[in-house]
Chain A
Amino acid sequence: MEVVKVENVTRTYKVGNTETQALRGVSLTIENGEFTALVGPSGSGKTTLLQLIGCLDQPTSGHVTINGKDVSTLNRNQRADMRRASIGFVFQFFALIPTLTAYENIEMPLLLAGVNGTERRNRVMELLDIVDLKDHAHHRPDQLSGGQQQRVAIVRALASKPALLLADEPTANLDTPNGKVVMETMVRLNKATGVTFVFATHDPRVISYARRVVTLRDGLIADGQVTPGA
């Protein structure tokens, strides 16, 4: 079953008098359980596409459908609700809330979703265990390494059991060993939970983890998609 359907999507940014066409008509379908890399040079539109799929932004034209629901025309609150219920994000920067501990960061989406106390605690500890950070539960982000922070960010994105996890260059700020751990964690979680992963990258070492690769170039999907390892 398809989780994401992108149809003829364009996105034009207007800054002052200059218009930038970040996407010029992209169509793409992502099936349930995929582990897909979005690749392409810097400026090719990867982030823009992830933001549109993730209901953070709205297309200038075209449609984005998540689990059969057209999200292109949702209002602000509906998009927030959609993100909370169905989508997890991992960013290039380690997007943890600096005032909250690892535990509290993971707990946040569960609180927003209204998950009750005991269930919440169990779920957070389970998630911390998955990424081997149980001992660091009560550490603040500045007491964690970049790799540890990114692992916390990944399980936070999975906390409310979303249909889709979107990661924008998740390893770009990590050294090779840490990047490897993060990618292996994502692969493992994709297999264990069946959650669909889509990640943007232009790092060749990372692309090899993908089961499907979608290449963007100048706001369009380039021909000749390669699917290594499949």
Chain B
Amino acid sequence: MKQLLTMALRDLGRNRRRSLFSALALGIGLALLLLMAGVVNGEMEGALNSAITLQSGHLQVRSKTYTEDKTSLAFEDLVENPGDLAARIGQLPPVAVVTPRLFASGIAAVGDRSVGLRIVGIDPASPANDPFRKGLVGAFLAPDDREGVLIGQTLADKIALKTGDSLTLLVNTSNGDVDQQAFVIRGVFNTNTPGFDENTVLMPLAKAQAITRADNHASILFILLKDKEQTGAVAAALTSNQYDVKTWLQLNDVAVQTEQLANGFMYVLYLIVLAITATVIVNTLVMAVFERTREIGVLSAIGMRSSRIMTMFLVESGFLTIGGIVIGLVLGGLMVLWATVFGFHIGNIGATGLLISDTIHAHLTLSDTVMLTALTLIISLIASLYPATLASRMEPVEALHGGRG
């Protein structure tokens, strides 16, 4: 066996440039796969994260008859006395934050244009609002502010308003009317998620309840957990016949399904890239087999069995593959590192249903790295079965003949 390893290594050294290029091709292939996996995973994870922190939370508690798309303000569709319920839920150890939120649809009248909006009544004191505080220009809302709102950066750009400007809002109310009031923009928040920032207006919960006549009601209790993995357990603990409990998985089914679809596509892409790199390996080894026809004949003549000849070429391909994988891990690692730190700015891609950040940061998981490395290794070894079999099937007489002259 040691002899086979020595021979394989020296054989690769015979045509250094060709070996290097083959390993490099494999390495570049693997590096691209790692980058693709990192970017797609980063994007999907980012989208899901935005959806959870901005919109769905890990869990929501709401009325059994509440439906998302209607933004109903009828009392039976809302949670009564949300503060009390929130206080009770907050006692559960896995719960990090619980805060009531009230949703209403509205319209901003700006000059002769009107823009459809989602009005969110928030408890300004809650740490659940940290994502809005982070990129805020201006002041955050005070709980007793009756005239102040916050708007998203994308919306601010769209309607050309800034902190301190006044904004007239038309808001649907619980009894089916529309109320109208002029507000002052206290600040402009930026979650780097254009799909969210372009249509969200925040105001204190008390004001939202007042203007919508929702009294002491909220649409949902927004819950963040210390650990996402606890979702199922906490959901089970909260389930009662009074309220509906929804998990982030149920609330973000579009994002989750998109992620699964994307993963499916990724597999197809992986296989295409690997098929190309495998072709390079096969090509290199087939050339090597034909160049060494006579040697194969000689080895066979001194009694080397076909299986051993086959092993010899597989070992050679193994070295080539390992070399390629090392190159791929280094190169891919650097590329992923760059994409993780700096990211790709994609701006507002106008995706609906997904909260995609304007900058994609790669996030490569260890399991993806291991899986892609193993996949590269396996596909490359399977591909090299062909040249190795070619070598082992050679009739010694033909092989000796083939190289003569």
Contacts and interface: CB of A to CB of B under 8 A. Distances in A.
A20 B158 CA distance: 88
Interface residues of B, number: 26
B294 A112 contact: no
B303 A83 contact: yes
A84 B302 contact: yes
B298 interface: yes
A89 B404 contact: no
A80 interface: yes
Interface of B is mostly: helix
A219 interface: no
B7 interface: yes
B14 interface: yes
A99 B400 contact: no
A68 to B, nearest CB: 20
Contact of B7 (A81, A84, A100, A157): A100
Contacts of A107: 3
Contacts of A76: 306
Contacts of B396: 56-57
A156 B303 CA distance: 12
B7 A83 contact: no
Contacts of B16: none
Nearest to A159: B302
Contacts of A88: 302
A106 B67 CA distance: 83
B301 A83 contact: yes
A76 B308 CA distance: 13
Given A57-B397, A93-B404, A99 B7 contact: yes
B228 interface: no
Nearest to B392: A76
A95 interface: yes
A142 to B, nearest CB: 11
Given A56-B400, A104-B3, A108-B3, A97 B299 contact: yes
A96 B3 CA distance: 15
Given A56-B400, A83-B302, A111 B3 contact: yes
A85 interface: yes
Interface string A46-85: 0000010010110000000000000000001100111111
A99 B10 contact: yes
Q: Interface size class for chain A?
A: 20 to 34
B304 interface: yes
B305 interface: yes
A115 to B, nearest CB: 12
A199 interface: no
A77 B393 CA distance: 11
A97 B3 contact: no
A170 to B, nearest CB: 14
A194 interface: no
B11 interface: yes
B306 A77 contact: yes
B300 interface: yes
B295 interface: yes
Contact of A81 (B3, B295, B305, B395): B305
Given A99-B7, A104-B3, A56 B301 contact: yes
Interface string B378-402: 0000000000000000011100100
A83 B300 CA distance: 9
Interface in B360-391: none
Interface string B13-51: 110000000000000000000000000000000000000
11 contacts: A54-B301, A77-B307, A80-B305, A83-B300, A95-B298, A97-B298, A98-B295, A99-B10, A99-B11, A108-B299, A156-B302
Given A56-B300, A57-B395, A99-B13, 15 more contacts: A51-B397, A56-B396, A77-B306, A80-B305, A80-B306, A84-B304, A93-B403, A93-B404, A97-B7, A97-B298, A100-B10, A107-B3, A109-B303, A156-B302, A160-B303
Interface of B: 3, 6-7, 10-11, 13-14, 294-295, 298-308, 395-397, 400, 403-404
